[in-house]
Amino acid sequence: MNEIDLLMACCRTDGPTDSLEGLASKENQSSLIELARFHKVEPLLIRCAKKLALLSDLPNAARNLGLTADLISIVQTFRSQGIDVLPHKGPLLALAAYRDLSLRSFIDLDLLVRTQDVSSALVVLETLGYRRAERLAWVDPQTLVRWTGETALHSPDGTSVDLHWRLTPPHYPVQLDASLLWPFQTVIRLAGTDLPTLAPEALLLVLAVHGAKHCWEAIGWLADVAWLAADFSDSQWRASVELAQRSRCERPLYLAASLAHRVMGTALPQFVQRSIQADSRIPRLESHVLDRWYRRAPKSPDSRELLRFASLLARNPWETLKHIEGLVFWPTEAEWSRGESAGPLQRARRALRLLGKHVSGR
């Protein structure tokens, strides 16, 4: 069993399908640990190899518990200020999918707010000690809302918060309308506190879109899907599909379902399997993901790979052209950090830089 197969086996909800005997004697344990870290599945490797001497090199639940305490404090403060917030992923996904905080690796907290609340949310987070990077602090909330869908803040002790009001850039071929998610809420009780979060049907779609946007860089993201959907009823699958149809992002959902079924044995209803079979792009997308896991070095996708994958996700050529136009003309955080504007001259410079990136493959 090679390292990728081993990690995939450890991610299965029904446990590894092959024996892990002999792993402790492997000389490449350090490379396996590094690979598990990249794919965000260290806790699941622990689950399958508790008796191995790898345990001291893998993270424990202490960090997760600390982030959980930070999340509770943030949500309570938002409530006191009358700001709606939907935390998702992080510790809430760990409980929703794995029923165990220690079985999921996460290093930050994700919060979804309404567009009109971005300015107030930033003020609240700043009162709690969270700050945007100094190079971006000058960007006002109105500019943020216009040009992007999220911003990162950090506390002095190293806690990171990703504040979202959109889930994909406006020009991206796949659009998941965040306003459609607010009715899909549930409550998870954590450390004696009721925290709002996305219902599993909506969370599944968010995970599918996020994974597709990043070419399914990490196996752990697929494990999240497999564990979350392990006990899905047909009605829950139908709710996810209907929500995807309303946002016109069925393809990422079917890709996630197909990968989870093929790699981790996730059971799918017949109507989902038929929809997967009816989409001729799914095999190409799936092949791309498996190829990057098995045959490429563990690193984030470059700009050319992201564009190719996005074009396969697109429903038609016009969506791809719109995405390319956005890549050329929309300013990035890196440009904001240099104090650059979004004027015509800057757009022309940006187009030349982007062309250079795609030629060089960075």
- pLDDT of 56 reads 44
* 207 occurs within a structural domain: no
Q: Compute the average pLDDT of residues 111-127.
A: 96
Which pLDDT band, with edges at 50, 70 and 90, does 360 fall under? low
DSSP string computed for 297-321: -S----HHHHHHHHHHH-SSHHHHH
Cβ atoms of residues 72 and 195 within 8 Å: yes
Q: How far is it, in rounded angstroms, from Cα 298 to Cα 294?
A: 9
* Mean pLDDT value across the chain: 86
Question: Do 98 and 22 fall within a single domain?
Answer: no
Question: Do 160 and 250 fall within a single domain?
Answer: no
Q: Which of 36, 57, 78 is the last residue of a domain?
A: 57
Instruction: Name the DSSP letter for residue 94.
Output: I
Burial of 125 (0-12, 13-18, 19+ CB in 10 A): buried
- Quickly tell me which residue has 């306003």 as its tokens: 179
Question: Do 121 and 177 fall within a single domain?
Answer: yes
pLDDT tens for each residue of 56-69: 444 545 677 888 88
Question: Do 145 and 105 fall within a single domain?
Answer: yes
- pLDDT of 37 reads 87
Q: Which amino acid is at 72?
A: I
Q: Which domain holds residue 148?
A: 62-198
- pLDDT of 323 reads 93
Question: Do 345 and 262 fall within a single domain?
Answer: no
Question: Do 87 and 151 fall within a single domain?
Answer: yes
- pLDDT of 346 reads 58
Q: Between residues 203 and 26, which one has the greater pLDDT?
A: 203
* 107 occurs within a structural domain: yes
**Range name among 152-161, 207-216, 235-244 with the lowest pLDDT average:** 152-161
- Model-level pTM? 0.88
- pLDDT of 218 reads 96
Question: Do 187 and 126 fall within a single domain?
Answer: yes
Q: Compute the average pLDDT of residues 173-187.
A: 94
Question: Do 167 and 243 fall within a single domain?
Answer: no
* 333 occurs within a structural domain: yes
Q: How far is it, in rounded angstroms, from Cα 101 to Cα 96?
A: 10
Question: Do 77 and 157 fall within a single domain?
Answer: yes
* 36 occurs within a structural domain: yes
Q: Which of 275, 295, 315 is the last residue of a domain?
A: 295
Q: Give the CATH number of the domain where residue 175 resides.
A: 3.30.460.40
pLDDT tens for each residue of 66-99: 888 899 999 999 999 999 999 999 999 999 999 9
Cβ atoms of residues 77 and 121 within 8 Å: no
The proportion of the chain whose per-residue pLDDT surpasses 70, expressed as a percent, equals 83
- pLDDT of 34 reads 84
* 206 occurs within a structural domain: no
Which residues pair with residue 163 across a beta bridge? 111, 151
Q: In what order do the strands lie in the sheet with 108-112?
A: 86-88, 108-112, 160-164, 150-154
- pLDDT of 29 reads 65
- pLDDT of 66 reads 82
Question: Do 276 and 356 fall within a single domain?
Answer: no
Which residues pair with residue 108 across a beta bridge? 160
Q: How many domains does the chain have?
A: 4
Question: Do 237 and 317 fall within a single domain?
Answer: no
Which residues pair with residue 196 across a beta bridge? 187
Q: Which of 295, 317, 334 is the last residue of a domain?
A: 295
pLDDT at residue 267 tops 70: yes
Question: Do 185 and 76 fall within a single domain?
Answer: yes
* 204 occurs within a structural domain: no
